[in-house]
Structure 1
Amino acid sequence: MGAFDEIKSRNFSLYGQWLGIVSIILLIVLGIVGFLNHVIFSIVGFVIAFILVFVEVPLCLKFCPTSPKLFAVVMFLSNLKGTGPLIATGVSLLLAAICYGIAAFTGQAFASSKLLGGTGVDNVKLNILREQAESATAAGDEYASLIKQLEAEDIQKSHEINSLQSKIKSLEDQLEKTENKLQVISLKSQEADIKAESLEKTVGELENQLENAESRYDELQVLNKAIMEEMAEYERQLEVA
């Protein structure tokens, strides 16, 4: 990864490191330029530059992330005796401190420039990929548990469906048997109706025969009465004779 890629990375710890390197150069150059006017602060600037060389380049301010802020205050104090070129180093150190502060505030992973022997933003991307992998794994586990739960629910629903199907089949069998019984009862009812009609006809015929027999009986009684009267008349005639 080149410097241009590091600039596009938007990682403020890298920006802070680059500003720290610029501050080292400015501390050395401007310390030499303003040495006669600010002897003490120029020497302090050389010491700060020496410290920053060991801090920024190999360790990348990992062990002393707030040092640019302190060094910026020192460089601004150098202007108490009069404005000098060291104010530029104070500004660059302040900007470096601001970049490190933004990186810490936004939770950006620490990164160091590859041009200075660091890893660039590869470790940042690696951490991001690792976090994404862990998040994907957690999501996969969650989905797996959800799938197992859905499978268990599906099995339970299948059992319930099978039970309902067996109940439906049993009810259908009972309904079929009931329909068969109703058909048998209907046939018997039709037969009973036919027999009832036949019996009604038979009863009607018997009633007619009974009426005829009664009328014949009445006729026979009248005839018998007439015969009895005639016999009584013959007996009286015989007695008289």
Structure 2
Amino acid sequence: MTIAEEFATRNFSIYGQCASSFLIIFIEIPLLLRICPTSAKFDTFMRRFTTNYMRAGIYLVMGIIQWLSIIKEASSLIAAAVMLTVAAGFYALAGVKGQGFVGSKTLGGQGVAQMII
């Protein structure tokens, strides 16, 4: 099934997956904010997620959306729900332990973003 056919099914779990993956890519790979043409409003929204608590919150919200999508019928979306919930837990744990957020240089953190300027 192509992506166009998936969207044509009007299955909202498909829409949820796409929205989640889009946000995760821009949250976890900040280099994309510099190289992709995005609006100032979108950039401001994405820059909110620079603390462990904010990341825990957004991952928890995305996890809840996935959990809600499998209430009617269990599907492979349970894997996404579990992983998003686990990620939220790790970010929350880092926040509770007082650990500051550290961006991975491999994923476009501080070192890589400055190299391309």
Q: For residues 107-118 of structure 1, what are the structure 2 equivalents within 5 Å?
A: 107-118=98-109
- TM-score calculated relative to the size of structure 2: 0.64
Q: Which amino acid aligns with 2:102?
A: A
Task: For residue 41 of structure 1, report the CA deviation from its aligned partner.
Answer: 1.1
Residue 78 (structure 1) aligns with:
69
Contact 1:111/1:119 (<8 A) preserved: no
- Return the match for 2:50 from 48, 59, 62: 62
| Residues 60 and 113 of structure 1: CA distance in aligned 2, closer, same or farther (over 3 Å) | farther
**SS of the residue 2:98 aligns to:** coil
Tell me how far apart the structure 2 counterparts of residues 90 and 84 of structure 1 sit (CA, whole Å): 11
Task: For residue 116 of structure 1, report the CA deviation from its aligned partner.
Answer: 0.7
Residue 46 (structure 1) aligns with:
18
Task: For residue 56 of structure 1, report the CA deviation from its aligned partner.
Answer: 1.8
Tell me which of the two structures has the higher relative contact order, counting C-alpha pairs closer than 8 angstroms and 6 or more residues apart: 2
Task: For residue 81 of structure 1, report the CA deviation from its aligned partner.
Answer: 1.9
Task: For residue 112 of structure 1, report the CA deviation from its aligned partner.
Answer: 1.1
Contact 1:68/1:97 (<8 A) preserved: yes
- TM-score calculated relative to the size of structure 1: 0.33
- Tell me the C-alpha RMSD between the 2 structures: 2.5
Identity of aligned residues (%): 30
Deviations 1:11-63 (A, max 9, x none): xxxxxxxxxxxxxxxxxxxxx7xx59882111111011112212221159316
Task: Provide runs of 4+ in structure 1 moved above 4 Å.
Answer: 35-38
Decide which structure has greater helix share. Answer: 1
Tell me how far apart the structure 2 counterparts of residues 61 and 87 of structure 1 sit (CA, whole Å): 24
- Return the match for 2:97 from 91, 96, 106: 106
For these two proteins, the number of residue pairs brought into alignment is 87
Q: Which amino acid aligns with 2:95?
A: A
| Residues 38 and 87 of structure 1: CA distance in aligned 2, closer, same or farther (over 3 Å) | farther
| Residues 105 and 38 of structure 1: CA distance in aligned 2, closer, same or farther (over 3 Å) | farther
